[in-house]
Structure 1
Amino acid sequence: MKLLWAIMITLILVLQGRLWFGEGSFAQVWALEQSIAEQQRENDELATRNERLYAEVRNLRNQQGAVEERARMNLGLIRQDETFFLVVEN
């Protein structure tokens, strides 16, 4: 009977060891959940950025004024017969 108890206790300890320290253990599952949560946050940020870029592209494709505004702001372009004033602050 003592041999049976010893085998059962050994089996329980081996199974507990795998549960806490082996592959698929609580620590490994927790680390994977943390990694998944971090990756999900990063994906959400990138999805938001992509939506802004898609909206900007749609705007540039559909409205001529958007292209003109972009050219004025980023490239400093002006129309013919237009006067350009540069205001410099101290």
Structure 2
Amino acid sequence: MLRWVALILLLILVGLQLKLWGPHGGMHEVQSLRVAVQKQKDENDRLLQRNQALGADVQDLKTGEQAVEARARNELGLIKPGEVFYQVVDKPADGSSVPVPAGSSGR
């Protein structure tokens, strides 16, 4: 009788070890979950930094004139009275110096 109990306990132990070290569940799943949690923490940190930068930008736009002026200059192309506006145009990459209007033969 004692042998049967020992055999059953041994089979249970082997089954639990297979479950623990097998590919489905157990240690493999724990490790993959740890990796997923670390990736999520990294993503959360990145998004937190972005949110803090955006919050600082919003606060600067609400309180500072320089930020509003810089945005108006960069995004809208506005200039102050008395300033001179210069626009630099790069040459086209294909080597032609004058663009040809649509529908024209170019002659």
Instruction: Report deviation, 1:68.
Output: 1.3
After superposition, the C-alpha distances for 1:39-72 in whole angstroms (9 at most, x for unaligned) are 1111111111111111111000001221111101
Superposed CA RMSD in Å reads 2.2
Work out which of the two has the higher radius of gyration on C-alpha atoms and give 1 or 2: 2
- d(CA) in 1 for partners of 2:16, 2:32: 21
Compare relative contact order (CA 8 Å, sep 6+) and give the higher one, 1 or 2: 1
TM-score (norm 1): 0.82
**Structure 2 counterpart of 1:85:** 86
Alignment length, in residue pairs? Answer: 90
Q: Which runs of 5+ in 1 are unaligned?
A: none
Q: Which moved more, 1:26-35 or 1:62-71?
A: 62-71
Q: Which consecutive segments of 4 or more residues in structure 1 shift more than 4 A? A: 87-90
User: Distance between the aligned counterparts of 2:47 and 2:81, measured in 1?
Assistant: 40
Deviations 1:8-48 (A, max 9, x none): 21111122122223875111111100000011111111111
CA distance, structure 2, for counterparts of residue 39 and residue 87 of structure 1: 45
- Which structure 2 residue ranges, 5 or more long, are not aligned? 92-107
Q: Which amino acid aligns with 1:51?
A: Q
Structure 2 CA distance, aligned partners of 1:15 and 1:33?
22
1:3 offset after TM fit, Å?
Answer: 1.8
Separation (CA, whole Å) in 2 of partners of 1:53 and 1:37: 24
How many Å separate the matches in 1 of 2:20 and 2:86?
73
User: Are 2:44 and 1:10 aligned?
Assistant: no
